Amino acid sequence: MLIETCLEREEPADTAPEAGGWAERLTPRYVAKPWGRRDGLPAPDEAQPLGEMIFEAPDAGLTIKWLQTSEPLSVQVHPQGPGRKHEWWHVTEALPGAYLDLGLEAPASRQAIAQAARDGTLPSLLRRIRPRAGDSFYIRAGTIHALGPGLTVLEVQEHSDVTYRLFDYGRPRELHLAQALFEARTEVEPVEALPGAGAPFALSQFALNPGGQVVLVPERACLAVLSGEGTIAGRPFAANQCWLTHGPVALHADTPARLVLAEPRSARSTLAEGDLLP
């Protein structure tokens, strides 16, 4: 079966058929980071301070992460060509003083960006945003970007590991100036909350009240649970989980639930009209 053969697991699959579809709870990988936090998402002791909770879904061409920050992260660029990675951030928590940097504040030459990266002034060239919980941002490949401190973010991204660091606040890690400058977008671009029609994935955000039901119809998708409890394809779900779905599958909320459905564009099919059941 597709679910069984396309994912690697460290534990037995948690799958169940329903209405011809399947849902599988993905196993997270917890990653401790110096810029992580101990007071946010639950994680094993060995993964503290937790920076990333990663769910891999290569079958859907997606990776889903929860990130939580106590310090600014490196200023990065993802490639627009081979290894391309478009991303989407959804802010679930923003502590006082939290910010993120997204794109340039004003157009800049590659030479000016390179000089700013070398002399430590690069953050001053970036558009600084102070988000609130519930805000969302689509990050096109090539956009210079960085998360600041005090954030918890759900990240949806293409299944790629390629990241080029432009600036890292003096941390002793490798920078990739040549590659990052080659890929970087150097014009000011509008802030986008959601991916558009040309994006490689589509997103549906929805909420259910207790007793609410919906049928997820995409051929394949990733479902991230922001909050709430219920069942999907007959299996219990809870907050901070991610599921791989091969629809149609039924989802039922036992408590107020907020969810995000991410679908690869080739399999685009959101919640079916009329599928919100009584």
Q: Residue 82's domain is classified under what CATH number?
A: 2.60.120.10
The one catalytic residue in 165, 173, 258, 265 is 165
Task: Give yes or no for residue 1 having a pLDDT over 60.
Answer: no
Whether pLDDT at 139 is above 80: yes
Determine, yes or no, domain membership for 136: yes
pLDDT recorded at residue 13: 40
Residue 53 lies in a domain: no
Q: Over 80: is that where the pLDDT of 278 sits?
A: no
Is residue 63 in a domain?
no
Q: Are residues 73 and 179 in the same domain?
A: yes
Residue 143 shares a structural domain with residue 201? no
Q: Residue 165 catalytic?
A: yes
Assigned domain for 54 exists: no
Q: Which residue's entry shows tokens 């200023």? A: 75
Closest CA to 261 of 80, 90, 15: 90
Q: Which residue has the tokens 């919906």?
A: 214
Q: Do 242 and 178 share a domain, yes or no? A: no
**Angle at alpha carbon of residue 243, lines to 228 and 53, rounded to 5°:** 80
- Other Cβ atoms less than 10 A from the Cβ of 83: the count is 16
DSSP 61-86: TEEEEEEE-SSPPPEEE--SSTT---
Asked, for residue 225, whether it belongs to a domain, the answer is: yes
> What CATH number is associated with residue 203?
2.60.120.1030
Rounded to an integer, the average pLDDT of 172-192 is 97
Q: Within this chain, do residues 169 and 93 fall inside the same structural domain, yes or no?
A: yes
Q: What is the mean pLDDT of residues 157-184?
A: 96
Q: For residue 43, tell me if it sits in a domain.
A: no
Same structural domain for residues 89 and 9? no
Q: What is the pLDDT of residues 209-252, one digit of tens each?
A: 999 999 999 999 999 999 999 999 999 999 999 999 998 999 99
Where does a domain end: 143, 160, 183? 183
- Cα dihedral 26, 162, 186, 144, rounded to 10, equals 50
**Does residue 133 share a domain with residue 100?**
yes
Mean pLDDT, residues 48-61: 97
Q: Are residues 175 and 74 in the same domain?
A: yes
Q: Are residues 221 and 136 in the same domain?
A: no
Q: How confident is the model at residue 19 (pLDDT cuts 50, 70, 90)?
A: low
Do 75 and 147 lie in one domain? The reply is yes
Q: How confident is the model at residue 177 (pLDDT cuts 50, 70, 90)?
A: very high
State residue 104's pLDDT score.
Answer: 98
- Structural domain for 17, as ranges: 1-28+197-278
- Shared-domain flag, residues 169 and 87: yes
Q: What is the 3-state secondary structure (H, E, C) of 147-174?
A: ECCCEEEEEEEECCCCCEEEECCCCCCC
pLDDT band for position 9 (cuts 50, 70, 90): very low
Q: What is the mean pLDDT of residues 34-57?
A: 97
Q: Residues with Cβ < 8 Å from 45, sequence gap 6 or more?
A: none
Cα distance between residue 177 and residue 181, in whole Å: 6
Query: Tell me, what's the pLDDT at 20?
Result: 72
The answer on 150 and 108 residing in a single domain is: yes
Where among 183, 216, 248 does a domain terminate? 183
**Cβ neighbours around 14 below 10 Å, total:** 15
| 184: DSSP letter | -
One domain, residues 177 and 216: no
Alpha-carbon gap, residue 222 to 25, rounded angstroms: 10
CA–CA separation, 116 and 59 (whole Å): 40
- Establish if 217 belongs to a structural domain: yes
Confidence of residue 259 (pLDDT cuts 50, 70, 90): very high
Q: How many domains does the chain have?
A: 2
With b meaning 16 or more CB within 10 Å and e meaning fewer, what string describes 135-172? bbbbbbbbbbbbbbbbbbbbbbbbebebebbbbbeeee
118-137 pLDDT, tens digit each: 999 999 999 999 999 999 99
Query: Which residues, 6+ apart, have CB-to-CB distance to 138 below 8 Å?
Result: 86, 87, 88, 192, 193, 194, 195, 196, 199
Q: Encode pLDDT of 87-97 as tens digits.
A: 999 999 999 99
Indicate whether 212 belongs to any domain. yes
Where among 152, 183, 214 does a domain terminate? Answer: 183
Per-residue model confidence as pLDDT tens digits over 57-70: 999 999 999 999 99
